[in-house]
Amino acid sequence: MREPSERPVRVLCWSERTEPVRVYPQGINGAVVQGLQEAGGFETRVARLDDPEQGLSEEALGSTDVLVWFSHLKHRDVADANVERIVNHIKECGMGYIALHSSIGAKPFHIVLDHRGSISGWREDGCPSVVSVCQPDHPIAQGLDRTFVIPQEEMYAEPFGITPPDELVLISSFGQGEVLRSGCCWYPGNGRVFYFQPGHEAYPVYFQREIKLVLANACRWAAARTGGAGNRSEG
Ligand code: ZN
């Protein structure tokens, strides 16, 4: 773990809030906040689809270093003006963006990286998933064992229709031999984007120690506001 930086990283945790209350009483965004608070060094806020301006106003994004995003059923309900604002904040202002699990279908994720984020199969079987660290020296992998197991997860399969990641930190494997690039980093414009596959809403994945660690690491990494090829030194 790092020493807390002088200024806390300001993280806006957004969810459409369709996740089941029995698993996530405070939403997936609330669970992410809980993990970041335990880690320390973060100033967290929550926002949801039903908020005024969908929680994505200029004022909200202007005071955000990293936007953590969960959407699943309501990707299309996010207003195009808000999507455009998010993409602008990432590329121009260097805001970080972390897309969780089913957020492969989120409009900001598609537009900021110019890809469709399609997967070639999924299976909601609640079987274990093995997450392998493929770049152990990456800031997002700090403190992780070389592999760890998520006891219950949804399978997502390659081929994964993404712009090839600038850095690949994690690969997940599933019960019938499927694999997915499950921790991917990109540097669009001045910003940083991380995709993290774990976290099907029916299972308590975001309460797991390793998942909280990855998200805290990823929020610190994504907050750096130094995107772009050739400017990837880590601080
Ligand atoms: Zn899912």
Helices (H) and strands (E) in the chain, counts: 5, 9
Compute the distance from residue 103 Cα to the ligand 1 centre, in Å.
9
pLDDT tens, position by position, 39-61: 999 999 999 999 999 999 999 99
Q: What residue ranges define each of the domains in the chain, with the CATH number in brackets?
A: 9-118+182-234 (3.40.50.880)
Residue 3 confidence (pLDDT): 53
Tens of pLDDT along 84-103?
A: 999 999 999 999 999 999 99
Task: Say if residue 169's pLDDT is above 50.
Answer: yes
**CA of residue 36 to ligand 1 center, whole Å:** 22
Cα–ligand 1 centroid distance for 136 (angstroms): 26
Cα-to-centroid distance, 8 and ligand 1 (Å): 31
- What spatial distance separates the first Cα and last Cα of the chain, rounded to whole Å? 14
CA 163 to centroid of ligand 1, rounded, Å: 21
Q: What's the gap in Å between 29 CA and the centre of ligand 1?
A: 15
Using CA atoms, how far residue 106 sits from 44, 83, 141, 171, in Å, is: 22, 9, 25, 21
Q: 106: CA distance to ligand 1 center in Å?
A: 13
pLDDT digits (tens, 9 = 90+) for 118-130: 999 999 999 999 9
Q: CA 218 to CA 142: how far, in whole Å? A: 10
Sheet holding 96-100, edge to edge: 42-48, 9-15, 66-70, 96-100, 192-196, 179-186, 167-173, 122-133, 147-156
Residue at 211: amino acid letter: I
Does the pTM surpass 0.75? The reply is yes
Ligand 1 centre distance from Cα of residue 183 (Å): 16
CA 4 to ligand 1 center in whole angstroms: 33
Report CA(76)–ligand 1 centroid distance (Å): 17
Residue type, 229: A
